[in-house]
Homo-oligomer: A and B are copies of this chain.
């Protein structure tokens, strides 16, 4: 055949191979990979790939194939026939083919696989002759008609199903397996009739006609509305079409010398360097999946099929060496001949990921940088830090419901519905799970006392979720499968009702609520973990800080590698037992002088809080955010507590209620909070400033040189910042005068209101640092209340309106654009401005990647996310370095 290179549409693989893994754009990912395996001598069933260019040309010409394509396909089939010593459509050793799509990027909406292509009555007869297994042959035949009809011709699969159900009824069979070869022969005829009726054509018996139609179906699926939509949403541009892979069928169910199986090159649970997997003799891949027969451990193969096993070992090692990663491999043995059907990087646990990475570097398989970038995901690290259930198996009846995996880890305890009860239980040494419709800052005592938290309402960034993640405490949030009855202290999923005191287990890693006590394992950090994290720290361009507001949290954060505190929320401290009453009186105070008296009473507590954190963090910087939430969050919301408070304050409950109501807001998120509080009540800012600076000065005597950074929240206008700055500076001077010594400290601001980003040049003139509060910035830029967005975000994700939950991963186009603007404007005004992010996104790898791209100085996240963030930071840097290198080459 003669054609110029640009008209080469078919690339063969097998013993003769024309492609390789670099030709993804031309051959699609699957095609390139099959070629690659073939070219390094892996026994892949022979086949060929039709190029993406051929797809494009065909589509452009209204499904007319380019001139030489048909000839090249025929030539490709010949290539398979030769390598298999079989004939396509022949009555002697008939060749059957599989046809599947494969673009450079995998995408939904593309055509499914068609197996057993080439089958017709003649071929079926020949196969029966060849293998003597009539039932297998006709079962394959009817499956082929079903698949071809459905996938290629759009005949509804339902129609074939219904026909089979009818037949089963006729012959009195209850399952497919009970159908005999004769029954299946009847079914083949009925399927053909269905096909005829629905398409208006005879079922094509010519194998080449089958192939042509199948290839065209693959081509057409490139422009299916689902695939187009996916490419549009995912912004996949520049791809011209899909490849088509045509490959010889092989069978593991021909005799006892045949088999099929899957294996991992290393243990995906532990990382141990040992072949791991299972197989079935005389079986097809489907049998493994269907669970009809129990597979055998792969190592048993050594005795049963010694030669094949050695071969398999050799090839799997080769694949691992070649791909420099643990491989997940599918294989089939047909009458003693081993075929590798697929290889891909294997999924693994966190423990395995770290072990494999460290081992592979030590084995000299790849350098540290590549191991960090390619072998461990940030989520692997996260997994390692939380206790897990020993077994992943959960019975149907055990499962009470599914919610959001809000904070990973496994927790077991008795159900309580009240924070007070949780605290009492803790004092008695009991383990409880706090179950609430949703949590509020009043619940933090109970949340802290509980083993885990379960809510029926709220999203991934609801109060419960955020607090729980901050503490590394398992939490399942927004579990709408259950309905909580606070009054009667029960919850139910409609079937099972759980009472207060019953044991439940929650899996925050997977979002499961389970009845009873499940066994757990504590996290054991291996030597590999520490080795790996040390490597990670060698490649870090950004600092990782933690969000923490207690010495205990700060301690954990520091142990896990935090290089400072990026966000200490002072309001959490206000909820302490001795304090909340003073705080409430302070809020209800009539006039500034009464308020100041209460603030004076709070001062020693706040000072001790800060001393505790400063002592732990030593000379690491600690960013303290001034009071942020609206004041009504501190007031009691239920009648009992109100009555108590009214009594305590010498007012009637009605008076108190009126005051509480007056402070309630329609949209508290956009209300009287943040610096708006400090501006209308400067005495609060003064007290907090004094507490921070006195704490730092008093610690000098202990030899600790604290580095406080005071952060003004919710600034949207430079005048707000300068107001608060001058209050802080004036109070600082008073403190310094009293102590007769000074201390260096910084004053900066959150950038969390869109207007702050838009006017960042003005604010940067005055501020020492910016901390992007991406939670609030997301809420305001997108107009999503994170407490309410659970009602539409899941729907948006499903419909492809959003690609990611913007509270998990920073919305690059909107929020990211504002951060970029703020950074550019800020650095122009103030070239030494320090910038970072705090908030939930600080622990999200993709958001961290964006922060690195934007050139921020640090990220700050929950203590338990610190190692995750370290890895993400290193990966961001290594990824960029690699891209730069590739650009230079």
The answer to whether A783 touches B791 (Cβ under 8 A) is: no
Which among A679, A787, A814 has the highest number of chain B CB atoms within 10 Å? A814
Contact of A802 among B717, B779, B782, B783 (CB under 8 A): B717
| Interchain nearest-CB distance for A820 vs B (Å) | 10
Instruction: For the complex, give the distance between the alpha carbons of A665 and B785 in Å.
Output: 9
The answer to whether A783 touches B666 (Cβ under 8 A) is: no
- One of A72-80, A182-190, A382-390, A753-761 at the interface: A753-761
The answer to whether B813 touches A759 (Cβ under 8 A) is: yes
| Neighbouring B residues of A753 by C-beta, 8 Å | 781-783
| Neighbouring B residues of A679 by C-beta, 8 Å | 792, 795-796, 799, 801
Instruction: For the complex, give the distance between the alpha carbons of A665 and B789 in Å.
Output: 9
| Interchain nearest-CB distance for A227 vs B (Å) | 17
Contact of A719 among B233, B716, B717, B781 (CB under 8 A): B233
| Neighbouring B residues of A674 by C-beta, 8 Å | 783
| Neighbouring B residues of A719 by C-beta, 8 Å | 233, 800-802
Kindly state the interface size class of chain A when it binds its partner. Answer: 35 or more
* Binary CB contact string for chain A from 772 to 800 against chain B (1 if under 8 A, 0 otherwise): 00001001111111011101100110011
Contact of A785 among B667, B788, B799 (CB under 8 A): B667
Instruction: For the complex, give the distance between the alpha carbons of A184 and B518 in Å.
Output: 96
* Binary CB contact string for chain A from 653 to 666 against chain B (1 if under 8 A, 0 otherwise): 00000000000011
Given A754-B781, A801-B717, A813-B758, A792 contacting B667 (CB threshold 8 A): no
Instruction: For the complex, give the distance between the alpha carbons of A653 and B482 in Å.
Output: 21
Q: Is A576's beta carbon under 8 Å from chain B?
A: no
The answer to whether B670 touches A784 (Cβ under 8 A) is: yes
Which among A669, A723, A755, A759 has the highest number of chain B CB atoms within 10 Å? A755
Instruction: For the complex, give the distance between the alpha carbons of A755 and B810 in Å.
Output: 13
Which among A667, A719, A781, A799 has the highest number of chain B CB atoms within 10 Å? A667
| Interchain nearest-CB distance for A336 vs B (Å) | 54
| Neighbouring B residues of A697 by C-beta, 8 Å | none
Tell me how many chains of this kind the complex includes.
2
Instruction: For the complex, give the distance between the alpha carbons of A788 and B665 in Å.
Output: 6
Given A719-B801, A720-B801, A780-B780, A792 contacting B672 (CB threshold 8 A): yes
| Neighbouring B residues of A785 by C-beta, 8 Å | 665-671
Contact of A787 among B666, B723, B782, B789 (CB under 8 A): B666
| Neighbouring B residues of A787 by C-beta, 8 Å | 665-667
The answer to whether B714 touches A755 (Cβ under 8 A) is: no
| Neighbouring B residues of A720 by C-beta, 8 Å | 801
| Interchain nearest-CB distance for A595 vs B (Å) | 15
* Binary CB contact string for chain A from 247 to 277 against chain B (1 if under 8 A, 0 otherwise): 0000000000000000000000000000000
20 extra interface residue pairs, beta carbon distance < 8 Å, beyond A666-B668, A670-B779, A755-B814: A666-B788, A667-B667, A670-B780, A670-B784, A670-B785, A671-B785, A679-B796, A679-B799, A679-B801, A680-B795, A716-B782, A717-B782, A717-B801, A717-B802, A753-B782, A753-B783, A754-B818, A758-B813, A759-B813, A780-B783
Q: A-side interface residues toward B, CB under 8 Å?
A: 233, 665-672, 674, 676, 679-680, 714, 716-717, 719-720, 723, 752-755, 758-759, 776, 779-785, 787-789, 791-792, 795-796, 799-802, 811, 813-815, 817-818
* Pairs A–B under 8 Å by Cβ, sample size 26: A665-B787, A665-B788, A666-B669, A666-B785, A666-B788, A669-B670, A670-B783, A670-B788, A672-B789, A676-B792, A716-B782, A717-B801, A717-B802, A719-B800, A719-B801, A723-B801, A752-B783, A754-B754, A754-B780, A754-B781, A755-B783, A755-B814, A758-B781, A759-B817, A780-B780, A780-B783
